């Protein structure tokens, strides 16, 4: 079966099994940043943005994203030019084994996209589906709040240049 979808701003036409799950399809297409964790929608390691909404790709049937716009962590930034959230995660030390980070970053991006001024409670609420067994859930809250601040500053400075 053919699946036509847009991943990180590029059009793809993938040959898939009809009963394939999105997480497997994305990883086979080379997007290894999408992690397979629990496989039952509990841990959030596999989170990707589907049409702007973060969802668990391990319980999403791949055929249902026909024509959809998908964003994985690879689409957020690169090692040379990290996304503001990725940099904030590094700076706050919100990364140890790193397995949850791709999913957490996607969920955090979804929050900042809809709410540029989040409170700590907003961050907790938005990341409630992303388990992290290393960092203890405090540092990533700092990271997202710092990223929100940093994003506001960059906006101001670019506006100033204009």
- Judged by CB under 8 A, the residue of 9, 67, 80, 160 near other proteins is 67
Which one of residues 7, 126, 132, 147 is an interface residue with other proteins (CB under 8 A)?
126
Beta bridge partners of 12: 5
CA distance 145 to 85: 9
Who contacts 56 (Cβ-Cβ below 8 Å, separation ≥6)?
A: 41, 44, 46, 47, 129
42 sits near other proteins (criterion: CB under 8 A): yes
Any residues with CB less than 8 A from the CB of 18 and at least 6 apart, and which? 1, 63
Of the candidate spans 36-44, 80-88, 141-149, 152-160, the one that interacts with other proteins by CB under 8 A turns out to be: 36-44
Chain residues 68-97 in contact with other proteins, contact rule CB under 8 A: none
Size of the site for other proteins (CB under 8 A): 28
Pairing of strands 47-50, 2-7: unpaired
Q: Residue 63: what are its φ and ψ, rounded to 5°?
A: -60, -20
Q: Which stretch binds other proteins (CB under 8 A): 53-61, 72-80, 88-96, 149-157?
A: 53-61
Q: Does 41 interact with other proteins (rule: CB under 8 A)? A: yes
3 state SS of 3: strand
Question: Of 24 and 91, which CB lies nearer to other proteins in the complex structure?
Answer: 24
Distance (Å, whole) CA 8 – CA 27: 14
Which chain residues interact with other proteins by CB under 8 A?
1, 18-19, 41-42, 44, 47, 50, 53-56, 59-61, 63-64, 66-67, 103, 107, 110, 125-130
């Amino acid at each position: 079966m053919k699946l036509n979808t847009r991943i990180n701003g590029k059009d793809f036409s993938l040959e898939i099994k009809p009963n394939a799950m999105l997480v497997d399809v994305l990883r086979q297409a080379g997007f290894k940043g999408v992690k397979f964790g629990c496989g039952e929608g509990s841990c959030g390691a596999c989170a990707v943005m589907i049409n702007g909404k973060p969802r668990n790709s391990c319980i999403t049937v791949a055929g249902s994203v026909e024509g959809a716009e998908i964003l994985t962590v690879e689409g957020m930034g690169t090692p040379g030019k990290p996304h503001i959230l990725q940099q904030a995660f590094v700076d706050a030390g919100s990364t140890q084994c790193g397995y949850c980070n791709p999913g957490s970053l996607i969920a955090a991006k979804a929050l900042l996209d809809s709410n540029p001024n989040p409170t700590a409670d907003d961050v907790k609420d938005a990341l409630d589906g992303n388990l992290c067994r290393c960092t203890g859930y405090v540092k990533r809250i700092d990271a997202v709040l710092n990223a929100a601040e940093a994003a506001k500053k960059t906006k101001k400075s670019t506006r100033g240049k204009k």
